[in-house]
Structure 1
C-alpha cells in the first residue's frame, strides 16, 4: 500500500526545511538552475530532462512549474524518497529507482531519445571519484549536442586556504539566514523511520543500503578537477554561473 497524500505532504515539507541547513540559498540556487535549463531549452517543443539524485522531487517540481511542456525523468536509489515524490509531486516527473553510476543504471531510465539537459543538486558528491568520472562520460553520451549538465553542489577551490575561506563564507550566510533552526538530516530520517505508512519501504531501504553505499564520495574534488573530468567526457564548455561560498551551479555543455 502506498503512502497517503497528506502523509507525503507532511514529510516532503519537513524535508524541504531540513535541506535548507545544507544548501546555502537553496531556493535561489533552484531558481538559477531553472533559469539555465529554460535558456538551454528555448525553442524546443518538449525538452527531455533528467534529474539525478532527485530525492522527493524538489528540483523536478520546480522545473515542471517553469517548463510545463518538459518531460522529466527523475532517478534516485532511495525507495522512501521516491515514494514521497511520486505521491506529493506526482505530475512533475516519471520517477525511476536506480543506483547512479552502477553498471547498466541508465537502462532503467527508459529513454527513447537524447537528453536536452541533466540536472542535479547536492547528489553527485556521494559518488566516488572514479564512478563520478564514469557517470560524466555516460551523461555525455546521453545528451544531444548542445545539451548540458547543470549541477548545483559544493565545489571547493584548488587552494586549501581558499577552500576554508569559501566554506566559512557559506556558513556565515546560512547562519544569518537562520536555516540551522530546522531539524537536521539525521533527525529527519529518525522521525520518518517511525512513520507507519512508510514502514515497508523503509525496511527495504535499510536492506539495500550496504550494497549501495560506501566509496567515500568526491567532496574533495576541486571545481577545476570537475571541469577536467567533464571535458574528458565530451563537455566542451564548463563554467560556474552562480556561487555563494563554495556552493556553486556548474554548467557543462556538450560539444
Structure 2
C-alpha cells in the first residue's frame, strides 16, 4: 500500500515551512528560476528540465505548473523525500533516485535527448568542491547548446566584509517577514523518524535519512570560474538577496 495523500501533504507542508528558514525570500527565488527557464526554453515545444536535489519537489512542481508542456525530472538521493513528493504532487513530475555526483549518476536518469535546463535550489552547497566541479562538467555535457544551468543557493559574496553584510540583510529580512519558523531541518527529520506511518519506507531504505554532506564555501566568483572551466560559455548572477543568489550558466 502506498503512502496516503494526507500523510504526504502533512509532511510536504511541514517541509515547505522549515525550508523558509534557509532561503531568503524563497518564493521569489523560485519565481526568478522559473522566469529564467521559461525564457530560455520559449522556443522548445516540450523542454526537458532536471531539478537536482529536488527534495519532495517544491521547485520542480512550480516549474511543471509554469511550463505544462515540459518534462520535469525531479532528482534526489533520498527515497523518502521522493515518495513524499510523488504521493503529494502526483503525475506532474517524474521522480528519479540518484546520488548527484556519484560515478555514472546521470545514467540513472534515462535521458533520451539533450537537456534544455537544469535547476537546483538550496542543494548544491552540500557537495564538496571537487564533486561540484564534476557535476558542473557532467551537466554541461548533457545540455543542448544554449541550454541553462540555474542554481539558487547560499553563495557568499567575494569580499568578507560584503559577505557579513549580506548575511545580516538576510537575517533582518527573515525577522521582518516572520520566516524563522520553530521547525528546522533536524526537527523535521526527527519528526519523520517518529511517525509510524513512515516507518515502513524508512525500513525499506535502510533507515537512511539523507546522504552525507561534504559541503563547500565557494564564493560567487569561484562558482563562476568552475562553471566556465566546465564548458559553459557564459555565467553570472541574475538575482541576489542577502547571501541568497540565483546563478545562471549558459551552455
TM-score by length of 2: 0.96
Matching residue of 1:248: 245
Matching residue of 1:48: 48
- SS for the counterpart of 1:46 is coil
Corresponding residue pairs, total: 251
Where in structure 2 are the equivalents of 1:174-185 lying within 5 Å? 174-185=174-185
- SS for the counterpart of 1:163 is helix
Cα offset for 1:154?
1.0
Cα offset for 1:182?
3.7
Matching residue of 1:189: 189
Cα offset for 1:206?
5.6
Relative to structure 1, the CA distance from residue 8 to residue 176 in structure 2 (aligned partners, 3 Å threshold; closer, same or farther) is same
Cα offset for 1:28?
0.6
RMSD (Å) for aligned C-alpha atoms: 1.4
Matching residue of 2:219: 222
Q: What are structure 2's unaligned runs of at least 5 residues?
A: none
Instruction: State the Cα deviation string for residues 91-137 of structure 1 (Å, max 9, x = none).
Output: 22110111000001111101000000000000010000000000000
Matching residue of 2:20: 20
Relative to structure 1, the CA distance from residue 63 to residue 231 in structure 2 (aligned partners, 3 Å threshold; closer, same or farther) is same
Q: 1:238 aligns with which of 235, 239, 247?
A: 235
Cα offset for 1:188?
1.0
- SS for the counterpart of 1:131 is helix
Tell me if the contact between 2:9 and 2:88 (Cα under 8 Å) persists in the aligned partners: yes
Tell me if the contact between 1:140 and 1:235 (Cα under 8 Å) persists in the aligned partners: yes
Cα offset for 1:208?
4.4
For residues 207 and 128 of structure 1, the distance between their equivalents in structure 2, rounded to whole angstroms, comes to: 24
Where in structure 2 are the equivalents of 1:90-169 lying within 5 Å? 90-169=90-169
Cα offset for 1:197?
2.2
Q: Which runs of 4+ in 1 moved over 3 A?
A: 203-210
Tell me if the contact between 1:152 and 1:250 (Cα under 8 Å) persists in the aligned partners: yes
Cα offset for 1:162?
1.4
